[in-house]
A and B are shown apart, each in its own frame.
Chain A
Amino acid sequence: MPKVARLHAILWGVFSMGGFIAAFLLPVLIYLVGIAYPLGLWPVTNEDPTSAILNHHHIGTLFLFVTVAGSLYHGIFRFQSTLTEVGLARAKRALEAIGYLIIILGILATAIYLLQYNPSFFSLP
């Protein structure tokens, strides 16, 4: 008997949220961290962008977590599904498992690193 795939539905919802995050928040992060700072382009500052964002305490840390976790989820989920469409259909289950493993570990690692850098995140300002 067919059954509503609840978990699948929720995971698709998260994937979709990740798509919005990667579209609206990721480009500026790539530009600041990966292009503008190393090449000395606008906005030129003394402090590197990652430190600047992290030193902006809660809101900066939250911005990084949402952007990185959302983009990672979206990117990995979509990429493993694309691989099944170009000849790896047989490895579908394995790709899904590896994909979710990378997503879970990546998001956990992001949270841990951010808290390590900014341990007071959960204490009130």
Chain B
Amino acid sequence: MSKEKPFPEYRRKLGPGWWLSNGHFTQYMIREWTSFFVAVFSLIYIYELSLFASGAKDSALALMRNPGIIAFNVLALLFTLYHASTWFYLIGKVQPIKLGKTTSKPWQALLLNIVLLLIISYAVIQIFIVR
């Protein structure tokens, strides 16, 4: 198969900014960057757990009241919710539910899972916080 090629082929390379060339790609990249907020919030919270474990509860609570951390948390919540909605939509694309002759649409999975998210969140608050 390794024929001698008489003339060079032109190879193109994908630059680091490829995701700006098309709206779908930009949306995709925002979706992937939600992971940054998920990861960093987890790391901050693990640090707070370490303070709780070593009995330094007050410094953990002081850290939570830091305006910078609160601002980050607001962003982290927004991005995590965006992750959740894209994830729910994709579940509907990959695992549609068949009922008789009709197959579920992705937006139906999105709605259903948002309701489920609200129920779970409310249950967490009821069980652990309000009691």
Chains A and B touch each other in the complex, with CB atoms below 8 Å apart: yes
The minimal Cβ–Cβ distance linking A105 to chain B, given in whole angstroms, is 9
Question: What's the least CB distance linking B62 to chain A, in Å?
Answer: 10
Which residues 52-104 of B have a CB within 8 angstroms of A? Answer: 52-54, 57, 60-61, 64-65, 69-70, 72-74, 76-77, 80-81, 83-84, 87-88
Please indicate the chain A residues that have their CB under 8 angstroms from the CB of B121 in the complex. 27-28, 31
- Residue A95 at the chain B interface, CB threshold 8 Å: no
The answer, among B17, B54, B74, B117, for a CB contact under 8 Å with A24, is: B117
A22→B41 CA distance, assembly (Å): 11
| Nearest neighbor of A49 in chain B, beta-carbon distance | B129
Distance between Cα atoms of A1 and B53 in the complex (Å): 50
Closest B residue, CB atoms, query A42: B125
A92 interface residue per 8 A CB criterion: no
Contact across chains for B52 and A51 when beta carbons are under 8 A apart: yes
Inter-subunit contact B42/A106 (CB<8 Å): yes
Contact among A28, A32, A50, A86 with B49 in the assembled complex (CB-CB below 8 Å): A50
**Cα–Cα, bound, A32→B16 (Å):** 37
Nearest Cβ on chain A to B93's Cβ, whole angstroms: 14
Query: Are A33 and B45 in contact, CB atoms less than 8 angstroms apart?
Result: yes
Contacts of A37 in B (CB 8 A): 64
Q: How far is the CA of A119 from the CA of B53 in the complex (A)?
A: 10
A75 CB contact (under 8 Å) in B16, B35, B49, B50: B35
Contact residues in A for B35 (Cβ distance below 8 Å)? 74-79, 82
**Closest residue on chain A to residue B66 by CB atoms:** A38
Compute how far the CA of A33 lies from the CA of B84 in the bound complex, rounded to whole angstroms: 19
Q: Does A5 contact B (CB under 8 A)?
A: no
| CB of B43 within 8 Å of the partner chain | yes
- Compute how far the CA of A23 lies from the CA of B125 in the bound complex, rounded to whole angstroms: 16
A residues neighboring B (CB under 8 Å): 19-20, 22-35, 37-39, 43, 45, 48-54, 56, 59-60, 63-64, 68, 71-72, 74-79, 81-82, 85-87, 102, 106, 109-110, 112-114, 116-117
Cross-chain pairs A/B with CB under 8 angstroms, 12 sampled:
A20-B87, A22-B83, A23-B83, A26-B80, A30-B76, A34-B64, A38-B64, A59-B127, A75-B41, A78-B32, A85-B32, A86-B29
